[in-house]
């Protein structure tokens, strides 16, 4: 299943033409994502490759994000996926409340880039649950000139807010 991220109207990008995300749930407890960024990739700030370590504040530069609600009323998870292979995972009990580190297996992240595209593949491991998962997918893109753009499946009114309930628009069985 493919979805297109939309650039927030207040944060246009001079380097990125578009971002598509392929989504799959190949087995219980696994979310597979492929973010594909197209544009002038030399103008996108990318962290250098590193060991796959948990790190904070990855959203301050180019970062791909997934928000996953695995069960109604059980809060949601936030995953920050850096092209460097660093990552972060949090659990929230409700909208921006009750944030705690999510004690989950580290995601697998593989990045490939050329002049016109960046592909970031991620396998995210969650507790297996029955029923639908609701997803909000997003990206922060920092350009080499320091300009940032904010991309999501859907933006609520106002400033970019990837946690907002209106952003959770994809359902996976």
The residues with which 68 forms a beta bridge, in sequence order, are 77, 135
* Pair of tokens at residue 172: 């996976």
**The pTM is what?**
0.96
Q: How many domains does the chain have?
A: 1
pLDDT tens, residue by residue, 121-141: 999 999 878 788 999 999 999
- Give the CATH number of the domain where residue 11 resides: 2.60.40.1190
Mean of pLDDT values over 106-112 = 97
Looking up tokens 């990552």 gives 87
Distance CA 61, CA 88 (A): 14
Q: Which of 7, 27, 18, 10 is nearest to 128 (CA)?
A: 27
The phi, psi pair for 66, rounded to 5°, reads: -135, 135
Provide the domain limits for residue 41: 2-172
pLDDT tens, residue by residue, 136-160: 999 999 999 999 999 999 999 999 9
Distance CA 147, CA 12 (A): 9
């Amino acid at each position: 299943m493919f979805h297109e991220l939309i650039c927030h109207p207040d944060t246009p990008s001079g380097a990125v033409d578009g971002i598509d995300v392929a989504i799959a749930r190949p087995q219980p407890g696994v979310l597979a994502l492929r973010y594909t960024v197209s544009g002038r990739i030399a103008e996108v700030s990318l962290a250098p490759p590193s060991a796959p370590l948990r790190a904070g504040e990855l959203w301050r530069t180019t970062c791909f994000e997934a928000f996953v609600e695995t069960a109604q009323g059980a809060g949601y998870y936030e995953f920050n996926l850096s092209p460097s292979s660093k990552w972060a995972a949090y659990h929230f009990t409700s909208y921006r409340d009750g944030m705690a580190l999510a004690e989950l297996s580290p995601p697998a992240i593989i990045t490939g880039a050329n002049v016109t595209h960046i592909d970031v593949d991620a396998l995210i491991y969650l507790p297996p649950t029955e029923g639908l998962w609701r997803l909000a997918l997003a990206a922060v893109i920092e350009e080499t000139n320091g300009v940032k753009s904010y991309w999501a499946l859907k933006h609520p009114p106002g400033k970019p807010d990837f946690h907002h309930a209106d952003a959770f628009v994809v359902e996976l069985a």
